[in-house]
Copies of this chain bind each other. A is one copy, B any other.
């Protein structure tokens, strides 16, 4: 509750300032965006204006104006004697960063990447409904999962060459439910966790919430640089690692065979528990040959999978495949988390896994069309943005023409396009974060075109140096509309 944010820590979140435009605007934007995307927790106590000014090397007048703007925008509360704390408006829950369920029909939420239900989904629900009577005759409590689904998931792993008993599968509430369960169960406060330098931020947040201390690998080259990994493991005992080797989020990189072999060998040798997030593996849009799972090289790896990425975000059905000695510990811990996953959703996913891959293929086709449409629009309308084509996953990791990500996202917000600024995906504050943003393509062609059009206007505003002082009260209303 109410953690205190030191001036140094807040300065790291704010990052290096741009030379252009008034500093107070940039600082306000960065704090605003970080509070809304969860990097700064609701209720956090901010440093005093004086302390922040000293650490940032700006005038006290500047930080005083920043806090006034944030106060006017309804994002912080200040009380004489106890300083200022982040107090997000209630409505902000629908606008939080990677997730948005904004109900403003004009708002385009590009803060999460999850597909709508592909053709064939409704049919799977109908088939599951036919089996409803047998489900309703039971209590529906399934702390480890629906037996038929566990067997189908185990069968999928066996087809990939990984011998798997159904008892090794625990069905969870999405991949996030699995990651959170693993962090809560396997980490003790202070345990070190080796992670990619940029990654899925909620996973890192879950590790930190369980007391884990992150050791991020360098960013820039391969997310899994072997030398850096070897050095990190040699430098200090690590309990766990969390990795996304298949269509890494957000960069879409794929871990090479050589990297998998080296990682598997080293993790095994050091007794580090590998939590391998394979939730993107089936979102293989171009059907490329993926190297075997890391579990082929490190038998004690825990694999995480999901139906939310392959099929539909509304299906909160993920799973983990654990080595046998960890299963009972995880099931016991799971029962004090949520008792189990929706029985009906599990039946729907069982139908989907048994349909011969038809619905998954339809989902991939829709995503491929979205990806190609987005890339074509970006090439035509934003030629100064680098947008490499991802072979899989749900988003394009673009490189911007300058360290402008937060400013660009703030300008986009004013046009009701919600984007996650690059720094949110970086484990450590890094100037590189401001060079990137993630654009998901799990949207209709019309939405994608409109998003690119708004991004063009936002980029013009930022590049023209015409970043008019934001009107924070309006801006925040835009965001939270």
Complex contact B1–A188 (CB within 8 A): yes
Asked if A442 is at the interface (CB within 8 A of a chain B CB), the reply is: yes
Asked if A427 is at the interface (CB within 8 A of a chain B CB), the reply is: no
Asked if A133 is at the interface (CB within 8 A of a chain B CB), the reply is: yes
Partner of A176, one of B91, B97, B172, B337: B337
Interface residues of A in 201-234 (CB under 8 A from B): 202, 205-206, 209
From residue A251, how far is it (CB to closest CB) to chain B in Å? 21
Query: For chain A, which range describes its interface: under 10, 10 to 19, 20 to 34, or 35 or more residues?
Result: 35 or more
Contacts of A97 in B (CB 8 A): 335
Give complex CA distance A182, B345 in Å: 25
Asked if A92 is at the interface (CB within 8 A of a chain B CB), the reply is: yes
Interface residues of A in 106-154 (CB under 8 A from B): 112, 114-117, 121-122, 125-126, 129, 132-133, 135-144, 147
Asked if A333 is at the interface (CB within 8 A of a chain B CB), the reply is: yes
Asked if A90 is at the interface (CB within 8 A of a chain B CB), the reply is: yes
Give complex CA distance A85, B42 in Å: 42
Asked if A180 is at the interface (CB within 8 A of a chain B CB), the reply is: yes
Copies of this chain present in the complex amount to 2
Partner of A125, one of B132, B139, B202, B337: B132
Complex contact B139–A115 (CB within 8 A): yes
Closest chain B residue to A114, Cβ basis: B139
Contacts of A15 in B (CB 8 A): none
Asked if A156 is at the interface (CB within 8 A of a chain B CB), the reply is: no
Contacts of A101 in B (CB 8 A): 138, 141-144, 147
Asked if A475 is at the interface (CB within 8 A of a chain B CB), the reply is: no
Complex contact B116–A42 (CB within 8 A): no
Contacts of A144 in B (CB 8 A): 93-94, 101
Complex contact A202–B332 (CB within 8 A): no
- CB-CB under 8 A for A329 and B122, given A112-B139, A114-B141: no
Asked if A80 is at the interface (CB within 8 A of a chain B CB), the reply is: no
Asked if A339 is at the interface (CB within 8 A of a chain B CB), the reply is: yes
Interface residues of A in 308-333 (CB under 8 A from B): 308, 312-316, 324-325, 327-329, 331-333
From residue A359, how far is it (CB to closest CB) to chain B in Å? 12
Give complex CA distance A32, B177 in Å: 30
Complex contact A336–B206 (CB within 8 A): yes
User: A73-100 CB contact bits vs B (8 Å, 1 = yes)?
Assistant: 0000000000000011111111011110
Give complex CA distance A337, B316 in Å: 12
Asked if A4 is at the interface (CB within 8 A of a chain B CB), the reply is: no
Asked if A362 is at the interface (CB within 8 A of a chain B CB), the reply is: no
Partner of A99, one of B1, B42, B177, B339: B339
Closest chain B residue to A180, Cβ basis: B337
Give complex CA distance A341, B339 in Å: 13
Complex contact A138–B167 (CB within 8 A): no
Closest chain B residue to A316, Cβ basis: B342
Partner of A177, one of B92, B98, B206, B338: B338
Complex contact A176–B143 (CB within 8 A): no
Closest chain B residue to A208, Cβ basis: B336
Residue in A116, A133, A327, A339 whose Cβ sees the most chain B Cβ within 10 Å: A339
Contacts of A189 in B (CB 8 A): 189
Give complex CA distance A316, B171 in Å: 13
Contacts of A140 in B (CB 8 A): 114, 116-117, 308, 312-315
Asked if A300 is at the interface (CB within 8 A of a chain B CB), the reply is: no
Closest chain B residue to A119, Cβ basis: B136
Complex contact A177–B209 (CB within 8 A): no
Contacts of A133 in B (CB 8 A): 122
Contacts of A186 in B (CB 8 A): 1
Interface on A for B, CB 8 Å cutoff? 1, 38, 41-43, 87-94, 96-99, 101, 103, 112, 114-117, 121-122, 125-126, 129, 132-133, 135-144, 147, 165, 167-168, 172-174, 176-177, 180, 184-186, 188-189, 202, 205-206, 209, 308, 312-316, 324-325, 327-329, 331-333, 335-345, 348, 442
Q: List 11 A-B contacts (CB under 8 A).
A: A1-B188, A87-B325, A90-B168, A101-B144, A114-B139, A129-B129, A136-B312, A139-B313, A173-B173, A176-B335, A316-B341
Given contact pairs A141-B313, A202-B339, enumerate 5 new A-B contacts (beta carbons under 8 Å). A42-B328, A93-B144, A122-B136, A180-B336, A189-B189
